[in-house]
Amino acid sequence: AIAKTAGGAATLTLRADRNIIVSAPISSTSGALGITLSAANNASAAVGGVNVGANLTSNGGQILIGGAGGNVTAAQLFGIGYALNASATEAAVKLGTNVTLSSGGGHITINGRSNASGGGSYSGVKGGIYALSGATVDSGGGNIYLSGISTGDDKVFGFGLEANAGTTTTFKTSTTSGA
């Protein structure tokens, strides 16, 4: 786990040539923590995804999830380019089961670009952005920018949601309304 427990505003940037896997919480309880997860930073990268398997809490800082693959120019408008598929069978950005991204008023940007083949059936699992059951993206009043693109196959979705029975997946900008 990474916990910011003292001091003013700060930024944590994790940059990888291939994949980033977050398996323990990243949080701030003192001052805003800008969190940037940027995959596929090798100039010739064909893969490079972000798998968020634990909570991210920025306490007012921006949360940027994506990378340097795909159409960087268009995505840079919101501070980060696109993550690419983590592998031939995995999404570019995956938000894990019951994982919460909470920015406390900071903007949240998630950019994923898939070039995967559907293999004959429709699939969100290999898409640009794939949110598993129970995931929550809560900007606490900040903006939420989502860009999921699929360029490899018309049967692979740019944005997909897992929808298991009895679960709720939430995207909201405040405590009173959804986005």
pLDDT at 51: 98
Taking 60 as the threshold, does the pLDDT of residue 71 lie above it?
A: no
More confident residue, 7 or 72: 7
Contacts of 87 (CB under 8 A, 6+ apart): 47, 49
Going through the chain in order, the beta strands assigned E by DSSP cover 2-4, 10-15, 20-22, 26-28, 33-39, 50-52, 56-57, 63-67, 83-84, 93-95, 100-102, 108-114, 129-131, 136-138, 144-150, 159-161, 170-172
**Confidence at 70, pLDDT banded by 50, 70, 90:** low
pLDDT for 79 = 78
Is residue 177 pLDDT above 70, yes or no? no
Q: Which residue has the tokens 């999830």?
A: 65
Tell me the percentage of the chain whose pLDDT exceeds 70. Answer: 92
Reported as a pLDDT band with limits 50, 70 and 90, residue 73 is low
Q: 116-149 pLDDT, tens per residue? A: 887 777 888 899 999 999 999 999 999 999 999 9
User: Which two tokens mark 97?
Assistant: 């089961």
Note the pLDDT of residue 114: 92
Q: What is the average pLDDT score of the chain?
A: 90
Residue 129: the pLDDT is 96
Read off the tokens for 137: 């993206």
Which two tokens mark 142? 């900040």
Interval 25-40: pLDDT, tens: 999 999 999 999 999 9
The reported pLDDT for the residue numbered 28 is 98
**How much of the chain exceeds pLDDT 90, in percent?**
69
Distance set, CA 116 to CA 70, 89, 103, 156 (Å): 13, 7, 30, 7
